[in-house]
Amino acid sequence: MENQTKEMNQAENTSAAQGLDACKAAVMPTYGRFDVIFEKGQGAMLWDTKGETYLDFVSGVAVNALGHGNPELAAVISEQAAKLMHISNLYWNEPQLKLAKNLIDLSEGALQDVFFCNSGTEALEGAIKLARKYGKKRDAVKVAHLSHSFHGRTMGALSVTGQPKYQAPFMPLIPEVYEFPANDIEALKNLDSSYCGFLVEPIQGEGGVNPISNEYLEALRAKCDALDIVLIFDEVQTGIGRLGTFYAHQSTSIKPDVVCLAKGLGCGFPIGAFIASKKVSVLTAGEHGSTFGGNPLATAVALKGVEIISSPDFLAQVKEKSQKIIQKLQALTDGHTIKSIKGKGLLIGIELGVDVKSFNTLAFDHKLLLIPAGENVIRVLPPLNVTDEEINLFFSKLEVILEALKEDKIAK
């Protein structure tokens, strides 16, 4: 009887999956997807429509900071949705006000004004507009960004993304945008008073998990101060505890003028924000807006996530787990398959000596979800509350993958 029930359930799942497969043609083909449909998750684990179990160390690309199925977040969503989901920014709402105050307080005096939106790209767009308006007082319109950067896919954010492969199909982009080589202090001599803003990711995620040195950031901060340039930190992937500090810039010795947030801010619920110091906060009523930005439901969820993640004990655990993972990965470094380990906190890059796409496909075949970054790096992005058991499972799967690669080389 038990086997019969199991077979019936499998048949139902297969039928449902086939029905969903028929719907795939309705979705615009703008993503390279694995052929899997996920239906539920818990912590760092995911289950697909066939009942297969996967270890998720992508976390929605650093979005699911507290993993899947978090009961505290689910309770907030249910409670807030029953009360109020959206009212527009013609009026105040309590979760938005509380979240704004928390984000400002957590900046330790660096930032004072918050604008809420729905994504990282939107946050970057707003920050660029702010910098452009700030520079108007001295006719400064140029915007600088770093090589290998990634700031988003809308026309403004794409214009400040230092990766031609993303830009080429959409030329021409917005004018007066210039690229500077990352970590090249000497090149900063080319900055002058015609620039209004400079965008930096403290660690370039999409570009290959490339850290920007503290020495470079200090030199850049000094240059921006001297020329009155707005220094914008893109913390969309690196912020909200990902590096072991609440804000990514708190792991450096400098303070930016603007910080852009999204991804982990909503722990899975769409929300973004850019936060500015009073000095550069020049946008006024009617100059920028977002219909859904700062709605009660999104800000209520983010408020709970921020309360959890900003706890000193929680952040200390992020650092401890990071150290454990990085040390174990370094022990597997052989100079060939794994060449080096880089990153900070729970944004970790494994530099590979093998094809990154093939490695990622092999990981998927072993029910381990990872994500490429740059040309030869695989990103490891577990939830910030990843358990020791999930970390151990990650290394068990990784060792099997490395052994399979070794055997494949021997066979060839």
Domain residue ranges in the chain: 21-70+313-411, 71-309
Closest by CA to 111, choosing from 208, 232, 291, is: 232
Is 153 a known ligand-binding residue?
Answer: yes
CB atoms near residue 358 (< 10 Å)? 12
Q: Which residues in the chain show pLDDT less than 70?
A: 1-18, 409-412
Give the pLDDT score at 407. 75
Given this model, what pLDDT does residue 22 score?
A: 85
Q: Is 236 annotated as a binding residue?
A: yes
CA distances from 250 to 73, 233, 253, 371 (A): 26, 11, 7, 26
Residue 186, annotated as binding a ligand: no
What is the CB-side half-sphere exposure of residue 389 using CA atoms within 13 A?
Answer: 3
Cα 84 to Cα 112: distance, rounded to the nearest angstrom: 27
Give residue 7's pLDDT.
58
Cβ-Cβ contacts under 8 Å for 361 (sequence gap 6 or more): none
Annotated binding residue 234: yes
Nearest to 195 by CA among 171, 162, 225: 225
Q: From CA 389, how far away is CA 321, in angstroms rounded? A: 12
Domain range 71-309, its CATH number among 2.60.40.10, 3.40.50.1240, 1.10.390.10, 3.40.640.10: 3.40.640.10
Q: Do domains 21-70+313-411 and 71-309 have the same CATH topology?
A: no
121: its two tokens: 């790209």
Local structure of residue 213 (DSSP, 8 states) = P
- What would the CATH number be for the domain defined by 21-70+313-411? 3.90.1150.10
| pLDDT for 2 | 56
On whether 57 is known to bind a ligand per the annotation, the reply is: no
204 annotated as ligand-binding: no
pLDDT at 19: 81
What's the confidence (pLDDT) of residue 412?
41
Predicted TM-score (pTM) above 0.85: yes
Q: Give the sheet arrangement for strand 347-352, strand by strand.
A: 338-344, 347-352, 377-380, 371-373
Nearest-5° angle of CA 273, CA 304, CA 244? 70
Is position 291 annotated in a ligand binding site? yes
How far apart CA 347 and CA 47 sit, in angstroms, is: 24
